[in-house]
């Protein structure tokens, strides 16, 4: 929790001014602030925005900076899941090291909040969670990290997994994960009953990967909504991907979105170019809180991805055919304040009193800023400079 | 046409060796070549690939390095077209300057061949073509540029345009363009008859933008194929976008692809995340020559895009769900040798005897190379170094 004076920045692309940070919070925004003895940074007239919020990724999976991996598979989701589970140890994917590499790159590109899934399965048990929790501890103060205990290999189809999720939630995981209760877990009722029971038992929110397309996905989504309502978990349940909301039947989609909004459920989208995706603007217009995320980055699943939320915002923007400035501003909000709200961070703004979690960005206007991918000049977390000119600069923590 | 010895490169990711270039062509590839008096470059062990082939872009449209433009429109294709046509002069989009900016960035990122559309309409007449031809002349020897005379504002719907296309083809345009003969031009028979008559008259190939989706696009595509067959223009007709080939009816699509292959027609795709797109692998498997392109880059239409063919390859790869190494190698081929073949450049390889048009790239393997977006260490056009470490270095030509 640091004090800092940033001179000559443009909060939300408004006029240049200074920002005084005290005890890790924004204390004053005005021209020509005088704060004797406080450390000073020069904003050089750059736009300041709240830090980027990465709301859907997998820090335990990346092979970034490891030798090129030539064993990726095509085929079904099951093939990809099995290939990864069988490969982690032979390939030497050290979760702590890789999570550090991934998270530090996200910090360098302006991210101040991360929600990351971590695989919990009967082969690896809680070992991946442990590695990731060490990364979270090592980066405490540099980035806020929520960990989702994620049954990547299935819940009902792999007996023993529910018990491990229970342990993971006791051990420090923040969110109960899920994966395609119908198409992958083959028993949507039991799968969702188990997931919701864990959430109620631990008092923790839910975030379910739902790749199921079309009417199958809509069916499962309705089962999730039913339980959200019955259990009184309004505001506590999120659905990642939600590809079914990209189906062509617009009236059907509108009905689903309306109920999502009434239950204050959250949607996390990666803008997957190869899939049907929910409409960012339709969700936001209905009042659904939406976050975006990079998903997996160069892992055993696929070679693509960059650990940069503005790069991902571009993909989400292209996927959603966003062109106009007001649409780009909505996209930037989804990548910052709106996305943070979707993972339960209510005060992620540049208002006086808010935590001083922010990044400077290139560009003339907010719309321009979301299009530019130039290095971020300065990233500040709780008033502490964590990256400068795209380089990580937290004392005592280095890139492994 | 220069002589050059590049030491320590890995052609197509094979073992490190030297490459001797004589008279602009690859003369020898072997370890330890001795060539007294010939200029030497150090490849530093990087992979060499044929230069990237940008097969679908609009060098006359970019607003790169101009003030941020906040006037983009949503709505229909007609809105976007009209907005651009009315905005070019008030916004000061100088075609020569902007085409230079765009093309030089493509060269810096390893592009040696560009096919670019240029708007021909009754407002601007041939002025945009003239500006672009000056850019082509200024960059002669640094990049090969094909210019498509493109009726962006419509052909039949804007009387006088056919005559201007005729003039443009006489004045130096290389290819006859077209735009949505049904949905935009409102008279597919007359539109296509006119387009094909111009191609026959001038002995030049055809490249038609076909955004029309589903059965409308298939209908128009069949009309294009009918004329290709009737006029004996096999190998001379390309279709850009071809969104209809992404429609769900797989048997219908397979029939269209089969006929495209038999007519040796070419498909140019940008992998548009928001649209249905043709399957790169299905087209290639059928023997259809395919190219990829960045399309417009930060123009009045939209804010997105990067002038880098590897960035675009990534989008096409994500759109096509390419994951496995052999798929990434096919993607890289499409971005180089295959794409060049689709625009009529048959010998764009790293074989001895081929023109020395190549770029070095980062990465361990070819699959890795297409995923990396690091600056290209060296770009060579006809044996001449045109960019080094991502910087353009052609004497007498500077970035405007």
The residue among B322, B342, B362 that closes a domain is: B342
For residue B248, give the chain A residue with the closest CA.
A248
Question: Domain span at residue A162?
Answer: 52-342
Q: What is the tens place of the pLDDT at every residue in B77-133?
A: 999 999 999 999 999 999 999 999 999 999 999 999 999 999 999 999 999 999 999
The closest CB to that of B274, out of A73, A320, A371, belongs to A320
Residue A392's pLDDT band (cuts 50, 70, 90)? very high
Q: Say yes or no for a CB contact (<8 Å) between A70 and B367.
A: yes
Per the domain annotation, does A371 fall within a domain?
Answer: yes
Per the domain annotation, does B399 fall within a domain?
Answer: no
Per the domain annotation, does A287 fall within a domain?
Answer: yes
Per-residue pLDDT, averaged over B271-296, amounts to 98
**Claim to verify: residue A311 and residue A360 sit in the same structural domain:** no
**Claim to verify: residue A191 and residue A115 sit in the same structural domain:** yes
CB contacts, 8 Å: B363 with chain A: 68
CA distance B214 to B221: 11
**Percent residues over pLDDT 90 in chain A:** 98
**Claim to verify: residue A102 and residue A194 sit in the same structural domain:** yes
Residue B74's pLDDT band (cuts 50, 70, 90)? confident
Q: Say yes or no for a CB contact (<8 Å) between A274 and B320.
A: yes
Q: CATH number, domain at A27?
A: 2.30.40.10
CB contacts, 8 Å: B367 with chain A: 68, 70, 303
Our CA-based measurement puts residue A289 at a distance from the nearest CA of chain B, in whole angstroms, of 22
Our CA-based measurement puts residue A193 at a distance from the nearest CA of chain B, in whole angstroms, of 33
Q: What is the tens place of the pLDDT at every residue in A180-231?
A: 999 999 999 999 999 999 999 999 999 999 999 999 999 999 999 999 999 9
Q: Which of residues 261-320 of B touch A (CB under 8 A)?
A: 271-274, 298, 301-304, 306, 314-315, 317-320
pLDDT score for B235: 98
pLDDT score for A373: 86
Residue A1's pLDDT band (cuts 50, 70, 90)? low
**Claim to verify: residue B290 and residue B384 sit in the same structural domain:** no
Q: How many domains does chain B have?
A: 2
**Percent residues over pLDDT 70 in chain A:** 100
**Claim to verify: residue B141 and residue B258 sit in the same structural domain:** yes
- Strands in B40-50's sheet, in edge-to-edge order, are B25-30, B17-22, B4-11, B40-50, B358-361, B378-381, B384-388, B391-392
CB contacts, 8 Å: A323 with chain B: 72-74, 301-303
pLDDT score for A74: 84
* Chains A, B: CB pairs < 8 Å: 84
Residue B373's pLDDT band (cuts 50, 70, 90)? confident
The residue among B324, B342, B360 that closes a domain is: B342
Alpha helices in A139-187, H assignment, sequence order: 161-171
Identify whether the C-beta of residue B9 lies closer than 8 Å to the C-beta of residue B16.
yes
**Claim to verify: residue B185 and residue B37 sit in the same structural domain:** no
Residue A2's pLDDT band (cuts 50, 70, 90)? confident
Give yes or no for B214 touching A (CB within 8 A): no
Per the domain annotation, does A279 fall within a domain?
Answer: yes
CB contacts, 8 Å: A315 with chain B: 273, 315, 318
**pTM (two decimals):** 0.97
For residue B323, give the chain A residue with the closest CA.
A302
Per the domain annotation, does B191 fall within a domain?
Answer: yes
ipTM score of complex: 0.96
Per the domain annotation, does A400 fall within a domain?
Answer: no
pLDDT score for A75: 80
Our CA-based measurement puts residue B279 at a distance from the nearest CA of chain A, in whole angstroms, of 11
The closest CB to that of B74, out of A73, A298, A323, belongs to A323
**Claim to verify: residue A187 and residue A217 sit in the same structural domain:** yes
Alpha helices in A263-375, H assignment, sequence order: 280-286, 309-319, 325-335, 337-342, 366-371
Cα-Cα-Cα-Cα torsion A345, A350, A353, A359, nearest 10 degrees, comes to 80
Q: CATH number, domain at A296?
A: 3.20.20.140
Q: What is the tens place of the pLDDT at every residue in B229-238?
A: 999 999 999 9
CA distance A331 to A260: 20
**Claim to verify: residue A42 and residue A107 sit in the same structural domain:** no
The closest CB to that of B67, out of A318, A321, A364, belongs to A364
pLDDT score for B1: 55
Q: What is the tens place of the pLDDT at every residue in A120-141?
A: 999 999 999 999 999 999 999 9
CA distance A209 to A300: 18
Residue B239's pLDDT band (cuts 50, 70, 90)? very high
Q: Say yes or no for a CB contact (<8 Å) between B303 and A328.
A: yes
Identify whether the C-beta of residue B282 lies closer than 8 Å to the C-beta of residue B288.
no
**Claim to verify: residue B196 and residue B221 sit in the same structural domain:** yes
Please state at what angle helix A161-171 crosses helix A127-138, rounded to 10 degrees.
Answer: 20
**DSSP class of residue A81?**
H
Per the domain annotation, does B46 fall within a domain?
Answer: yes
**Percent residues over pLDDT 90 in chain B:** 98
**Claim to verify: residue A67 and residue A164 sit in the same structural domain:** yes
Per the domain annotation, does A174 fall within a domain?
Answer: yes
**Claim to verify: residue A370 and residue A328 sit in the same structural domain:** no
Query: Has residue B2 got a pLDDT over 90?
Result: no
Alpha-carbon A210 to chain mean position: 16
**Claim to verify: residue A116 and residue A203 sit in the same structural domain:** yes
In 3D space, the residue among A198, A175, A49 whose CA is nearest the CA of residue A111 turns out to be A49
Q: Say yes or no for a CB contact (<8 Å) between A273 and B70.
A: no
């Amino acid at each position: 929790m640091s004090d800092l004076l940033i001179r000559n920045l443009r909060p939300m692309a408004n006029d240049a001014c200074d920002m005084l940070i005290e005890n890790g919070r924004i204390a004053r925004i005005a021209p020509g602030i005088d704060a004797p003895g406080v450390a000073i940074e020069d904003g050089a007239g750059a736009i300041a925005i709240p830090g980027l919020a990465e709301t859907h990724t997998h820090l335990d999976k990346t092979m970034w900076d490891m030798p090129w991996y030539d064993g990726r598979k095509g085929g079904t989701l099951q093939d990809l899941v099995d290939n990864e589970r069988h490969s982690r140890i032979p390939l030497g994917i050290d979760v702590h090291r890789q999570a550090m590499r991934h998270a530090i790159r996200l910090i360098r590109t302006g991210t101040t909040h991360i929600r990351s899934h971590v695989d919990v399965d009967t082969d690896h048990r809680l070992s991946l969670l442990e590695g990731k929790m060490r990364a979270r501890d090592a980066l405490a103060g540099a980035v806020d990290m929520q960990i989702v205990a994620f049954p990547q290999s299935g819940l009902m189809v792999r007996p023993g997994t529910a018990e491990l999720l229970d342990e993971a939630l006791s051990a420090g995981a923040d969110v109960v994960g899920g994966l395609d209760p119908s198409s992958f877990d083959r028993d949507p009722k039991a799968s969702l009953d188990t997931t919701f029971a864990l959430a109620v038992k631990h008092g923790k929110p839910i975030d379910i990967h739902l790749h199921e397309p079309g009417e199958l996905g809509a069916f499962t989504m309705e089962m999730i909504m039913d339980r959200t309502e019955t259990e009184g978990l309004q505001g506590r349940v999120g659905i990642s991907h939600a590809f079914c909301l990209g189906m062509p039947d617009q009236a059907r989609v509108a009905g689903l979105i309306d109920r999502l909004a009434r239950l204050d459920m959250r949607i996390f989208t990666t803008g997957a170019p190869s899939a049907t995706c929910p409409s960012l603007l339709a969700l936001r217009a209905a009042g659904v809180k939406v976050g975006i995320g990079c998903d997996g980055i160069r892992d055993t699943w696929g070679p693509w991805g960059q650990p940069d939320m503005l790069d991902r915002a571009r993909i989400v923007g292209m996927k959603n055919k966003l062109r106009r400035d007001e649409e780009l501003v909505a996209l930037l909000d989804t990548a910052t304040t709106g996305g943070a709200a979707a993972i339960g961070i209510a005060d992620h703004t540049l208002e006086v009193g808010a935590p001083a979690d922010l990044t400077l960005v290139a560009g003339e206007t907010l719309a321009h800023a979301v299009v530019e991918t130039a290095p971020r000049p300065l990233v500040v977390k709780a008033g502490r400079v964590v990256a400068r000119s795209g380089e990580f600069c937290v004392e005592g923590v280095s890139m492994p």
